[in-house]
Structure 1
Amino acid sequence: MNTITTRGVSIPRLGFGTFRMPGGGCQPVVESALALGYRHLDTAAMYENEDAVGAAIVASNVARRELFITTKVWHDQLRTKDSIRRAFDTSIGKLKLDYVDLYMIHWPSKDMDMAIVMETLAALRDEGRARAIGVCNFNLPMLRLAVDEIHAPVASVQVEYHPFLDQSAMLAYLREREIPLTAYAPLAQGRAAEDETLKRIGAKHDLSAAQVAIAWLLDQDGVIAIPKAQRPKSQQSNLDALNVRLDDEDLAAIAGLPKDQRYVTPPFAPDWNALTL
């Protein structure tokens, strides 16, 4: 498994997402992923499956040092240092871990004090309870405040990214600072599998359209992908995408797809086009 080193941690470039896998049904799915070779697991307090992910880790007998575990604090817990720490304690308890590899803000809150929030996450890192910290769903003005002004040690930024959404401005900003982008919803919530252009490219290489979408992401410098797959066959198919190399014709065809399709748009999302805070 290829990795990206950032802020002293090495993140496997292909991870396993667990969004919309609540409850006990998540455990056998994660056990299957670990058995196939996944070592980067992505969960969150909001997913309501940290217990199941923790149980799967225990059942797998995979050494802790071989795993990279990410979890996240929900935006309603960002009000104070104490609320963030309580959320962290709850998550780490459910996961049955002594530490997580990456602790992230899941979504920004309009009324959060950025300096206090980032200071609290950095303190968890300094204490060794989180090996690294990061943010999800920040727009560029928020990132400039956190990274350029507050100088928070952000190890990764997780945002929606797939062949139908342009993230070139975000990528340019992050690459300049050597911060990897973690792509969630890398299959556009299933839409990539049905796209005719991706199917056509897949047929040319004896691949699925989903494999083409993942390979396209992993072909980009500084990009990590965390697709979700419940069936072992799909989990293996996503792993196999690590070995796919697309040619210039394929890349040109994907470049021609619409790039304005954002599918994750909760009412509390920030203004993605904002130029200032």
Structure 2
Amino acid sequence: MPWFGLGVFKVEDGQDVVNSVTAAIENGYRSIDTAAIYGNEEGVGKAIADCNVPREELFITTKVWNSEQGYDSTLAAFEESMNKLGIDYLDLYLIHWPVAEYGLYVDTWKALEKLYKDGRVRAIGVSNFQEHHLQDLIDRCEIVPMVNQVEYHPRLTQTKLHNFCKEHHIQLEAWSPLMQGGLLDDPTLTEIAQKYNKSTAQVILRWDLQNEVVTIPKSVKSHRIVENANIFDFELSNDDMDRIHALNQDKRVGPNPDEFNKR
């Protein structure tokens, strides 16, 4: 699994998402993260089909939406996503939200286990799961989730969850790593960025990687796609890592996973 990739949340299907994914792949990205609810799997699939990179060099992720949770409905949702993407295997399949009040995420996980055992998916995981959701799967299912994709940025470091994931060998992955742009003018981050002659976004994404968190920033602008990936030629000092971590306020821009139940 690449440490760095492109997220396509809220990128419109059609030429917008095709252009975004194409620009990313042409500039060295190999990981693309989409979801059924994003409504752009077909465009992602077209960009994959038209690129000059062999399929086996790409890492494609999609997710089952809340309304499709349950064993049989998850298997059906998977087939629909595969048809839209136009691929014959998936690199990573995630449960998008736990929506515990539906009481279905364990059955949904068992469907993912079947897909994994059948070789349809190379890795299975979850998104937006808290410690108690993960522990429930660990206690009741055969396979420990391999990935947990959550909101993660300097204002929401989720240290307890991150430590739990490390303990159980679950790879943490960050969505909204730039807090939807809300951190780009932060004075501490701006000061650190000037020190390294980098953008604020590059500093945040580098902080993710040094924390051993996979990151998938979204962009539809080619120059931003290139800039975001230019983070492998510098390293933040331990002091600067700590300064960034100290910005935590347990502040979310997305829903609380224990409360979100949208179908």
Q: Which TM-score bucket, shorter chain as reference? A: over 0.9
In the alignment, is residue 42 of structure 1 matched against residue 50 of structure 2?
no
Structure 1 residues not aligned, in runs of 5+? 1-10, 273-277
Q: How does 1:82-93 map to 2 (within 5 A)?
A: 82-93=72-83
The list of structure 1 runs, each at least 4 consecutive aligned residues, that deviate by more than 6 angstroms after superposition, is none
- 1:224, distance to aligned residue in structure 2 (A): 0.4
Q: 1:262 aligns with which of 235, 244, 252?
A: 252
Q: Are the aligned partners of 2:89 and 2:120 in contact in 1 as well (CA < 8 Å)?
A: yes
Q: How does 1:138-177 map to 2 (within 5 A)?
A: 138-177=129-168
- 1:198, distance to aligned residue in structure 2 (A): 0.7
Q: 2:206 aligns with which of 191, 215, 219?
A: 215
- 1:220, distance to aligned residue in structure 2 (A): 1.1
Letter of the 1:194 counterpart = D
Whole-angstrom distance in 2 between the partners of 1:258 and 1:131: 34
Q: Are the aligned partners of 2:18 and 2:46 in contact in 1 as well (CA < 8 Å)?
A: yes
Q: How does 1:96-175 map to 2 (within 5 A)?
A: 96-109=86-99, 110-175=101-166
- 1:249, distance to aligned residue in structure 2 (A): 2.9
- 1:232, distance to aligned residue in structure 2 (A): 1.5
TM-score by length of 2: 0.94
Match of 2:19 in 1: 28
Structure 2 residues not aligned, in runs of 5+? none
SS of the equivalent of 1:252 reads helix
CA RMSD of aligned residues (A): 1.5
Whole-angstrom distance in 2 between the partners of 1:255 and 1:86: 41
Q: Are the aligned partners of 1:183 and 1:225 in contact in 2 as well (CA < 8 Å)?
A: yes
Whole-angstrom distance in 1 between the partners of 2:253 and 2:165: 22
- 1:259, distance to aligned residue in structure 2 (A): 2.6
Match of 2:218 in 1: 228
Whole-angstrom distance in 2 between the partners of 1:16 and 1:229: 8
- The percentage of counterpart residues that share the same residue type is 39
SS of the equivalent of 2:146 reads strand
- 1:119, distance to aligned residue in structure 2 (A): 1.2
Q: 2:67 aligns with which of 63, 69, 76?
A: 76
In the alignment, is residue 16 of structure 1 matched against residue 16 of structure 2?
no
TM-score by length of 1: 0.89
Deviations 1:124-178 (A, max 9, x none): 1111111111000111111001124423341100000001112111111111111
SS of the equivalent of 1:246 reads coil
Whole-angstrom distance in 2 between the partners of 1:157 and 1:183: 9
- 1:271, distance to aligned residue in structure 2 (A): 5.1
Deviations 1:7-61 (A, max 9, x none): xxxx000011000102111111110000001001000000010000000001112
Deviations 1:100-122 (A, max 9, x none): 10010011222133432211110
Whole-angstrom distance in 2 between the partners of 1:163 and 1:114: 29
Match of 1:95 in 2: 85
- 1:85, distance to aligned residue in structure 2 (A): 1.2
Number of residues of Structure 1 aligned to a counterpart in Structure 2: 258
SS of the equivalent of 1:242 reads coil
SS of the equivalent of 2:230 reads helix
Match of 1:275 in 2: none
In the alignment, is residue 196 of structure 1 matched against residue 187 of structure 2?
yes
Whole-angstrom distance in 2 between the partners of 1:235 and 1:147: 36
SS of the equivalent of 1:154 reads coil
Letter of the 2:163 counterpart = A
Deviations 1:74-122 (A, max 9, x none): 01111x3221111111100000000110010011222133432211110
Q: 2:236 aligns with which of 200, 224, 246?
A: 246
Whole-angstrom distance in 2 between the partners of 1:171 and 1:68: 23
